[in-house]
A and B are shown apart, each in its own frame.
Chain A
C-alpha cells in the first residue's frame, strides 16, 4: 500500500452530498479524497436560483457549489474532477479505486455519492439533434425557439413547469406524455391545462427525430392504438426524470429495482465501510438539503468506522 495514495476516506461524487461529506471528514482531520466524473457541484449547478436553502435568501447553484468546494479544500480535502473510475474494489478493510489516468488510490472507507443524470429517450436521432433542436434545459435554450412551435416530453413537475415557462418564447407548446394522466402536482397541471398556448398528446411517446442541419420532425407513437404519426416541430424539450449513476456499482453492492443504493439509517450499504449519500440513494425526497443531510450522516458514520478500524489494527499490532 502506497501511503501517499492512501486516504482515510474516498468519496465518489462531488455534488452536495459528496462535498458535505468532504467538509465534515477533512474538518475531522481525516485524509479525504473526492473524485468526480463531471464538474464539481453535480446537479446542484443545474439550478439557476436556489431560494429554499435555509439561512441563504437566494443563491445560484454554481455559487453554492463553489463555496462548498472551497470549504472542503480549505479543510484539506483533495478533489479530482472530470475523471472516471476504471476499477473499484469495495470488499475488505482496504478499498481501492483506479482512475482513467491510471492512478490508484486506497482507503479505509468509501462514501458513494454519484448522484443522477437527466433521463434520455434513447431513440433514433436523439444524440444527433442534441443542441440542434433537442434540449434538456428550458432556461438555457428557450430563447432559440422564439415564435416557434415546440414539444415538451414528460408528465412530472419539471415537464409541466418548464412547458409553461417556454410559452414566454414559443408560439405553441405541445406536451407529449406516455400515460393518460400526469404525475405533477395539481397546481402545475392546472396551470398547464389553462394555458392557451399549451396543448396535449397523451398516451404517446416520441420514437424518432428527423431533420437535416436541425430538427424538423418527430415520429410519435400512439401507445393505445400502436400507430405512428410524423409531426413537424422546431424543437423538443425532454424532462422525463433522472436515473441514478450507479451502473458501475452493479454486482458490487445491493441496489433496488430502480438501481438506487440501499442503505440503513447510518447511510451504510450492505458492505462494511461503504456508505452512500445523495440522489443515488433509495429514498422518496431528493433535495439539496436532503443530500447534505445524507452526506453529513455518511461522513460521521464513516469517521466512526475508520476510528474503530484504526483502533482495532493498533490493538492487533500491540498484541
Chain B
C-alpha cells in the first residue's frame, strides 16, 4: 500500500487504461522508502502546474507491476523508484532512483508537452 495522494494503479488493467485514455502519463513505481517518497512528493506538487499530465503511482512489490518492471526501457535499472513517462501510450522516458524536482520538470517539459491542434 502506497500512502500518497497520487492516483494508484492497482493492476495491469488499470495501467493499460491509464496510458490508453490519457495522452501524457507519469507512473512512479516504488515503495514507501527514502528514495521513492521524495519523487511522490514532487509529483504531488507538480500536479497543479501540469494539468495536461496524469500522475500515478504503483506498488513495486505488487506482482502486477510487471507491466513496468519488464519493459526494455528499465533494463539495467537497480534503484527504485522506476519512473516511467508515457506519451500516447508509448514509453518516452524512464528514470531509476531518486530525482530532483528540476530533473522531473525537465523531462515533463521535453517529453510530455501539451498538444496543439491545428
Contacts and interface: CB of A to CB of B under 8 A. Distances in A.
Nearest to B82: A131
B75 to A, nearest CB: 6
Interface in B44-93: 45, 75-80
A141 B41 CA distance: 20
Contacts of A130: 79, 96-97
A275 interface: no
B45 A132 contact: no
A38 B38 contact: yes
B25 interface: no
A214 to B, nearest CB: 4
In this complex, the member of A82, A141, A145 whose beta carbon has the largest number of chain B beta carbons within 10 angstroms is A82
A235 B78 contact: yes
Interface stretch (A39-47, A255-263, A284-292, A296-304): A39-47
Given A62-B32, A82-B45, A131-B97, A140 B79 contact: yes
B31 interface: yes
B33 A132 contact: no
Contacts, number: 74
Interface residues of A, number: 30
Given A38-B38, A39-B37, A81-B41, A132 B76 contact: yes
In this complex, the member of A46, A62, A134 whose beta carbon has the largest number of chain B beta carbons within 10 angstroms is A62
Interface residues of B, number: 23
B33 A140 contact: yes
Contacts of A61: 34
Contacts of A214: 76, 78
B37 A45 contact: yes
B31 A144 contact: no
Contact of B97 (A39, A46, A82, A135): A135
B17 interface: no
Interface in A17-40: 38-40
A35 B76 CA distance: 36
B59 to A, nearest CB: 14
Nearest to B101: A82
A316 to B, nearest CB: 41
Nearest to A145: B78
A139 B76 contact: no
A131 B34 contact: no
B107 interface: no
B79 A39 contact: no
A48 interface: yes
Contacts of B79: 130-132, 134-135, 140-141, 144
Contacts of A46: 34
A41 B34 CA distance: 11
Nearest to A60: B32
B118 to A, nearest CB: 32
B27 interface: no
A73 to B, nearest CB: 14
A213 B101 contact: no
A133 interface: yes
Nearest to B100: A38
A132 B101 contact: no
Contacts of A60: 32
B35 interface: yes
A137 interface: yes
A240 B75 CA distance: 28
Contacts of A235: 78
B96 A132 contact: yes
B80 A141 contact: yes
19 contacts: A39-B38, A45-B38, A62-B3, A62-B32, A82-B41, A82-B45, A131-B77, A131-B97, A132-B78, A132-B79, A133-B78, A134-B79, A135-B79, A140-B35, A140-B36, A140-B79, A140-B80, A141-B35, A213-B76
Interface of A: 38-41, 45-48, 60-62, 81-82, 130-137, 139-141, 144-145, 213-215, 235
Interface of B: 3, 31-38, 41-42, 45, 75-80, 95-98, 101
